[in-house]
Structure 1
C-alpha cells in the first residue's frame, strides 16, 4: 500500500457526498487499488468504508460505488442489507438473490452478510417484517436459508405427486402450507420445472 492510497483514505472523510471526487478516483482505479484504498481507510479510521458510504450516499449512486469497490459476493450481501433496512424493505432484491443465485453462491452471500454485519441475513429479514407481511414472507426467508440440490436428475413421479400437493395448497389459499414450502425451498430448479409443468398440464 503506497502513500497515495493512504492520502485518498484521509480525503474520503472530508468529501462526504462529493460524488464527483469519489467517481474521479474510484472509476480510474483497478480492483486491487480499490481494495488497497478500503484497507487504508479501515486502518486509519477503524471503520468499514462500505458502512460509512451506506450512510453518506443516495441509493442509486451508492449502488454504483458498490459495483466499483466490492467483489460480487460482498456486493450482494451489502445490497441485500440496504434493501432490508429501508423503511419499506425492497423484497425484489431478496427474491432475486434467493431465486437466481446457485446454492453455493447464496451460501457465500449469507456468510459474507454475517461476517460484515455480525448478524444473519435471515435474522435481519425477520426483524424487518411484522404482521401479515411476516406471514407472507415465510416462504421468502425459507428460500434464502435453503441449500437446494443443484443437479440434473428429475423424478417425474415425484413431480406429479408434489404438483398435486401444490394444487391443494393453492386451492385452500394456504400461504404457509408446510409441505408446499418444503417443496419450493428444497427441490432443485429442474425438479421444480417438472413439478410446475405437471401442475399446468393437470
Structure 2
C-alpha cells in the first residue's frame, strides 16, 4: 500500500458525497431539507458535510454549480459530434439541454428558482447557452445551411424563452416541463432557420 492510498480514498469519497448531494437535490429538491436530512441520506456525519461547505446554502450552491458544469460538458459534447449538420447541432444542443434538465425534478427546479444564489447559476448557464446558440446559428448561416437570418436576433429570442423556462413561467402557462419546453424550442428554431422557411 502506498502513502497516497488514503488520500486517493479520501478524494474518491469526497467526490462520491458531492455527486450524492447533487443526485439527492435533483430528485428531492432542497428547500425542505436540513443538513441532518442530507447527512442521513448520504450516510455520513454532519461534520463531513461541513468539510464540503460551511452551511446548507453553500452546499446547495456548490451542488447546483456542479450539476450545471457537468450538464454543460455533456451538452457541448453532443453539439460537437462529428458529421452533424448545423441544424442537427442546434437540435443536439437544445435536446441535450432538455435531457439534462429532465433529470431534475420539478421540486428541484422550483427550489432553484426560489433560492437567489442557485437562480443566478441557472441564469448564467442560460445566458451562456443562448450565446452558444447564436454562435451555432452564425456558423449555419455562414455555411449556407440556414437562411440569412440575424443570428443575434434569433439568439435573443432563444435567450428570452430560455429565461422564461428557467423562471418556471413556461411550465405555469403551458404545463410543459423544462425538458419538454427545450425540445419544442429546438424544433421551432431549426424549422424557422430552414432555407425553405
* TM-score for both structures, normalised by structure 2: 0.34
Relative contact order higher in (CA < 8 Å, ≥ 6 apart): 2
Greater Cα radius of gyration, structure 1 or 2: 1
* TM-score for both structures, normalised by structure 1: 0.34
